A and B are shown apart, each in its own frame.
Chain A
Amino acid sequence: GESVGLHLPTLSVQEGDNSIINCAYSNSASDYFIWYKQESGKGPQFIIDIRSNMDKRQGQRVTVLLNKTVKHLSLQIAATQPGDSAVYFCAENPYNAGGTSYGKLTFGQGTILTVHP
């Protein structure tokens, strides 16, 4: 039968606006979180990361907020530009009992960001 694809959330903004992309993660024991940007035909590109001992981290035009109480992650992009249009993924590194989960990132479904000039 025909497979049903993931229905990705979408966010449309005007150039120059600030964007906020949200992500709910699943494992309360995860200790490392990353945001990636994926443009069409390319692999995911690292944007910013944060560890569980922090609740905020800033980069160039981007800020990641972590709320461990409600298991929520957000990515804020300031002064959004057309070049920011892409699919944005959050990823977590789940913590296996007895040790680090080697090399395994668990990804969210992604959010499509469209920036209109």
Chain B
Amino acid sequence: KAGVTQTPRYLIKTRGQQVTLSCSPISGHRSVSWYQQTPGQGLQFLFEYFSETQRNKGNFPGRFSGRQFSNSRSEMNVSTLELGDSALYLCASSLSEGTDTQYFGPGTRLTVL
């Protein structure tokens, strides 16, 4: 069974631009969570989607948004990029409920110049 895939793997943007990252969960998994990983803050939860609905959200500004499609694939969007948004963005999928094991993708490395 294929793992979680994320595209693109690397991205370079400039301040003020927006970016969209994509995540395809493991087949059969319906929950997708997104995390931001930085050297300064570690791994921080962004949001979680299940059946196209956002069920949970972390403490990030409204510039960070996401969505989930009927096939469980998910995208996250960051608008008006800031230098501090440079990070590894990780997506994780699980079968359904919040306490199911989450399996992570390789991440998208975003660099904001």
Which A residues are closer than 8 A to B by beta carbons? 3-6, 31-32, 34, 36, 41-46, 49, 51, 89, 91, 93, 100-110
B42 contacts A93, C-beta separation under 8 Å: no
Main secondary structure of the interface of A (DSSP, over half): loop
A34 to B39, CA, bound (A): 21
A37 to B101, CA, bound (A): 14
A44 contacts B104, C-beta separation under 8 Å: yes
Give how many B residues have a beta carbon under 8 Å from the other chain's beta carbons.
32
A110 to B106, CA, bound (A): 18
Q: How many pairs, one residue from A and one from B, have CB atoms within 8 Å of each other in the complex?
A: 85
Apart from the given pairs A42-B107, A103-B47, A104-B33, 10 other A-B contacts in the complex at a CB distance below 8 Å = A3-B39, A43-B90, A93-B98, A93-B99, A102-B48, A102-B50, A103-B33, A103-B45, A103-B55, A105-B33
A43 contacts B107, C-beta separation under 8 Å: yes
A41 to B6, CA, bound (A): 13
A103 contacts B42, C-beta separation under 8 Å: no
